[in-house]
Structure 1
Amino acid sequence: MTRFSHPPTLEDIVEMAEQAFSAIPKELRDLVRGAAIMVEDVADEETAAEMGFESPWALTGLYRGVPMTQKSVFDTPSEPDSITLYREPILLEWVETGEDLFRLVRNVLIHEIAHHFGFSDDDIDRLEGGD
């Protein structure tokens, strides 16, 4: 576990997300080949509202894109799929829960990918519990 003497920066969370991506179950990694992982401080108000949240502080991550299972070679190329992690809400949850930060980042990745591909909450709990 990495100890921080200051709040983790965007770069710290990017590095952690890249390591966490390698630590998520292979069945999820295979679903999102080529998706970009990005980190922003906090979602904008429009994104939060679009996702049904009253506050951007409730949104820790967001998957945008077309699932591989729905892509076709005949599709017109669009923006690449992306997973955005929101640093400040993740850090707020980290402070409030005392959860290990790496595990929290890993679980946000799992949650975003799994929900995007229609996994049930029970499936997500199973995937998050596996180390």
Structure 2
Amino acid sequence: MSDDEFDELVQAAIDGIPQSAITMMDNVVFFIEDEYEPLPGEAKNTDILGLYEGVALTERDLDWASGALPDRITIFKNPTLRACETRDDVVREVRITVMHEVAHHFGIDDEKLHDLGWG
């Protein structure tokens, strides 16, 4: 799958975020990277499909906004493609991954996301 096609799938998933959620999101940017670079201490073969980096809305206090960088949601192309067999699988997985990472922005943890089917 080309970079442009994958980018379009991610954009479609972002466009599919309910408007009610979009209006509540604050200071978030989306990125697409080819590969996840494991952090020190993580196995070198760690493959994740998406990553939320930031301070969840539920954890922000009055001092948070002064000089805060935007939260980052990164979707990883190659791990996603490796996890999927068909284009339809990629479409589904990108949608799930985008929603999963957006949910982290709202303070929803992995356990709850798995319970809701967005794991």
* Interval of TM-score (by shorter of Structure 1 and Structure 2): 0.7 to 0.9
* Farther off after superposition, 28-37 or 62-71: 28-37
Match of 1:88 in 2: 78
Match of 1:74, SS? coil
Structure 2 equivalent of residue 38 of structure 1: 31
Q: 2:69: which partner in 1?
A: 79
Structure 2 CA distance for aligned equivalents of residues 55 and 27 of structure 1: 38
Shift of 1:20: 0.5
SS in 2 for 1:77: coil
The CA distance in 2 between the partners of 1:66 and 1:103, in whole Å, is 27
* Most deviating of 111-120 and 14-23: 111-120
Unpaired segments ≥5 residues, structure 1: 1-6
Structure 2 spans left out of the alignment, 5+ residues: none
Say how many residue pairs are matched.
Answer: 117
- Using structure 2 for the length normalisation, give the TM-score: 0.73
Change (3 A) 1:86 1:103: same
- Identical residues among aligned pairs (%): 26
Q: TM-score with structure 1 length normalisation?
A: 0.68
Structure 1 residues 23 and 73 mapped into 2: Cα distance closer, same or farther (>3 Å)?
same
Higher helix share: 1
Q: Distance in 1 between matches of 2:60 and 2:88?
A: 36
